[in-house]
Amino acid sequence: MVRNVTLLDLVNAVAEHARSEAEVIATIVWMVNRGHVRLCGTFKGARFIRRATPGTLVSLRENLGRKLFTVRFDGGQQLIVFAHEIEFASEELAA
C-alpha cells in the first residue's frame, strides 16, 4: 500500500538518515516518481521532472502580463511554465 505524506514530512524523514542535501533530494525524487509514496497536501499528486527533460510546447497564454507555456514532457507529464524556464532546442524556435 502506498503511503500518503506531505512533502515537508517526507523531507524531514529522509533528512534524518541522509548524508547530504543532494542525497535528500535524490531520494525524495526517486520515492515520489517511482510511486513508493504519494504526496498529499499542497503538493498532492505532484511528480518531479528533471530540468533537462525534453518536451513539446502545447500552448501559450498570457496572465497578468506574463507569458505562460503549457509543455508536454516526453515522460507524459504536462506542466504550465514561465518563459524563463524554457530552453529552446534551436535559435530558430526561440525567435
pTM exceeds 0.85: no
* Burial state string for 72-87 with b = 16 or more CB within 10 A and e = fewer than 16: eeeeeeeeeeeeeeee
Q: Choose among 84, 4, 7, 83: nearest CA to 36.
A: 4
19-65 per-position pLDDT tens digit? 999 999 999 999 998 899 999 999 898 888 776 678 888 999 998 88
Please give the Cα distance from 43 to 78 (Å, whole number): 15
Q: What pLDDT is stored for residue 47 in this prediction?
A: 81
Q: What percent of the chain has pLDDT above 90?
A: 38
